[in-house]
Structure 1
Amino acid sequence: MIGSMYSVIAMKLILTTGVVPNLNISAALLGFLFIRTWLKVLEKSGFVSKPFTRQENTMIQTCAVACYGIANGGGFGSYILALNKKTYELAGVNNEGNSPKSVKEPGLGWTTGYLYLISFVGLFALIPLRKIMILDLKLTYPSGLATAVLINGFHNQSDKIAKKQVQGFMKYFSISFFWGFFKWFFSGTGTGKVQCGFGQFPIFGLKAWKHTFYSDFSMTYIGAGMIVSHLVNLSLILGAVLSHGLMWPLISRHKGDWFSESLQESDMKSLFGYKVFLSIALILGDGLYNFAKILACTIINIHDKLKNRDLEMVVGGQEKPIEVLKRNQIFIGENIPIWLATVGYALFAIICTLAIPFMFPQLKWYYVVSAYIIAPSLAFCNAYGVGLTDINMSYNYAKVAIFVLAAMSGKEDGIVAALIGCGLIKSVVSVASILMQDFKTAYLTCTSPKAMFLSQVIGTTLGCVTAPLSFFLFYKAFDVGNPDGEFKAPFALMYRNMAILGVQGFSALPNHCLQICYGFFALAIGVNVVRDMSPQKVGKYMPLPMVMAMPFLVGAYFAIDMCIGSLIVFVSHKINSKKAEFMVSAIASGLICGEGLWTLPAAVLALAKVNPPICMKFLPS
Structure 2
Amino acid sequence: MASTTKTDENNPSVTEVDHESDEAAAMERVFSNTEVPSWRNQITFRAIITSFILSIVFNFIVCKLNLTTGIIPSLNVAAGLLGFFILKTWTTLLNKFGLLKHPFTRQENTVIQTCVVASSGIAFSSGTASYLLGMSSMVASQLETGNTPINVKKLSPGWMIGYLFVVSFVGLFSIVPLRRMMIMKLKLTYPSGTATAYLINSFHTPKGAKLAKRQVSVLFKSFSFSFVWAFFQWFFAAGDDCGFASFPTFGLKAYAQRFYFDFSSTYVGVGMICPYMVNISLLIGAIMSWGIMWPLIEAKKGIWYSADLSASSLHGIQGYRVFLAVATMLGDGLFHVVYMAIMMLFTIIKTGSKKVESLPQDENRSQLTFDEQKRNEYFTKDQISTFTALGGYITLAIISIFIIPNFIFPQIKWYHMLVAYIIAPILAFCNAYGCGLTDWSLASNYGKLAILIFSGWAGMGHGGIIAGLAACGVMMNIVSTASDLMQDFKTGYLTLSSPRSMFFSQVIGTAMGCVMSPLVFWFFYRAYSVGDPDGSYPAPYGALYRGIAVLGVEGLGALPHNCLKLSIWFFVGAILVNLLTVVLKRYEKRFGVYRFIPSPMCMAIPFYLGAYFAIDMCIGSLILFVWEMKNKKAAKELAPAVASGMICGDSLWGIPAAVLAMAGVKAPICMKFLSASVNKRVDGFLGS
Query: Shorter-chain TM-score category?
Result: over 0.9
Tell me the equivalent position of 2:198: 149
Determine whether 1:135 maps to 2:184: yes
Tell me the equivalent position of 1:287: 333
Matches within 5 A, 1:379-398: 379-398=428-447
Matches within 5 A, 1:53-72: 53-72=105-124
Q: Any conservation in 1 of the 2:202–2:208 contact (CA below 8 Å)? A: no
| Whole-Å separation in 1 of the counterparts to 2:296 and 2:96 | 66
Determine whether 1:203 maps to 2:255: no
Q: Which amino acid aligns with 1:594?
A: G
Determine whether 1:348 maps to 2:348: no
| Whole-Å separation in 2 of the counterparts to 1:119 and 1:48 | 37
Tell me the equivalent position of 2:68: 16
Q: Deviations over 1:106-135 (max 9, x none)?
A: 101100000000000001111111001111
| Whole-Å separation in 2 of the counterparts to 1:203 and 1:511 | 35
Q: Which amino acid aligns with 1:363?
A: I
Tell me the equivalent position of 1:600: 655
Q: Deviations over 1:563-617 (max 9, x none)?
A: 1111111111111111122211111111111111111100100000001110001
Q: Any conservation in 1 of the 2:190–2:438 contact (CA below 8 Å)? A: yes
| Whole-Å separation in 1 of the counterparts to 2:242 and 2:637 | 37
Match of 1:186 among 209, 222, 236: 236
Tell me the equivalent position of 2:378: 330
Identity %: 50
Q: Which amino acid aligns with 1:564?
A: I
Greater relative contact order (Cα < 8 A, sep 6+): 1
Q: Deviations over 1:341-400 (max 9, x none)?
A: 112111111110110111211111111111111111111111111111111111111111
Q: Any conservation in 1 of the 2:203–2:209 contact (CA below 8 Å)? A: no
| Whole-Å separation in 2 of the counterparts to 1:312 and 1:604 | 64
Q: Secondary structure at the match of 1:363?
A: coil
| Whole-Å separation in 2 of the counterparts to 1:41 and 1:575 | 38
Match of 2:211 among 129, 153, 161: 161
Determine whether 1:479 maps to 2:529: yes
| Whole-Å separation in 2 of the counterparts to 1:587 and 1:474 | 26
Q: Deviations over 1:140-174 (max 9, x none)?
A: 11111111121112222344322222211111111
Determine whether 1:497 maps to 2:547: yes
Q: Give the CA deviation at 1:100.
A: 3.6
Q: Secondary structure at the match of 2:359?
A: helix
Q: Give the CA deviation at 1:37.
A: 2.8
Q: Give the CA deviation at 1:41.
A: 3.7
Tell me the equivalent position of 1:3: 55
Q: C-alpha root-mean-square deviation of aligned residues, in Å?
A: 1.5
Structure 1, unaligned runs of 5 or more: none
Q: Any conservation in 2 of the 1:379–1:429 contact (CA below 8 Å)? A: yes
Q: Deviations over 1:438-494 (max 9, x none)?
A: 100100111111111111111011111100111001100001011111111111111
Q: Give the CA deviation at 1:28.
A: 1.0
Match of 2:126 among 74, 95, 98: 74
Could you say if the C-alpha distance between residues 203 and 41 of structure 1 is closer, same or farther in structure 2, counting changes exceeding 3 Å? Answer: farther
Determine whether 1:270 maps to 2:316: yes
Tell me the equivalent position of 1:582: 637
Tell me the equivalent position of 1:508: 558
Q: Any conservation in 1 of the 2:202–2:209 contact (CA below 8 Å)? A: no
Q: Which amino acid aligns with 2:373?
A: L
Q: Any conservation in 2 of the 1:99–1:411 contact (CA below 8 Å)? A: no
Q: Which amino acid aligns with 1:589?
A: S
Q: Give the CA deviation at 1:514.
A: 0.8
Determine whether 1:364 maps to 2:413: yes
| Whole-Å separation in 2 of the counterparts to 1:175 and 1:608 | 26
| Whole-Å separation in 2 of the counterparts to 1:505 and 1:42 | 64
Q: Structure 1 length normalisation: TM-score?
A: 0.97
Q: Any conservation in 2 of the 1:98–1:500 contact (CA below 8 Å)? A: no
How many residue pairs match? The answer is 614
Determine whether 1:454 maps to 2:504: yes
Q: Any conservation in 2 of the 1:10–1:72 contact (CA below 8 Å)? A: yes
Q: Any conservation in 1 of the 2:227–2:653 contact (CA below 8 Å)? A: yes
Q: Deviations over 1:407-455 (max 9, x none)?
A: 1111222111111011111111111111011100100111111111111
Matches within 5 A, 1:282-321: 282-313=328-359, 317=364, 318-321=366-369
Q: Which amino acid aligns with 2:114?
A: T
Q: Secondary structure at the match of 2:166?
A: helix
Q: Give the CA deviation at 1:186.
A: 0.5
Match of 2:159 among 103, 110, 119: 110
| Whole-Å separation in 2 of the counterparts to 1:438 and 1:120 | 15
Match of 1:550 among 599, 605, 608: 605
Matches within 5 A, 1:526-537: 526-534=576-584, 535-536=587-588, 537=592
Q: Deviations over 1:225-251 (max 9, x none)?
A: 111111111111111111111111111
Tell me the equivalent position of 2:32: none
- Using the TM superposition, name which of 381-390 and 302-311 deviates more: 302-311
Match of 2:298 among 248, 252, 261: 252
Q: Give the CA deviation at 1:99.
A: 3.7
**Which runs of 4 or more aligned residues in structure 1 lie more than 6 Å from their structure 2 counterparts after TM superposition?**
none
Q: Structure 2 length normalisation: TM-score?
A: 0.87
Q: Which amino acid aligns with 1:390?
A: D
Q: Secondary structure at the match of 2:664?
A: coil
Determine whether 1:419 maps to 2:474: no
| Whole-Å separation in 1 of the counterparts to 2:215 and 2:451 | 45
Q: Secondary structure at the match of 1:507?
A: helix
Determine whether 1:441 maps to 2:491: yes
Q: Which amino acid aligns with 1:206?
A: L
| Whole-Å separation in 2 of the counterparts to 1:229 and 1:49 | 43
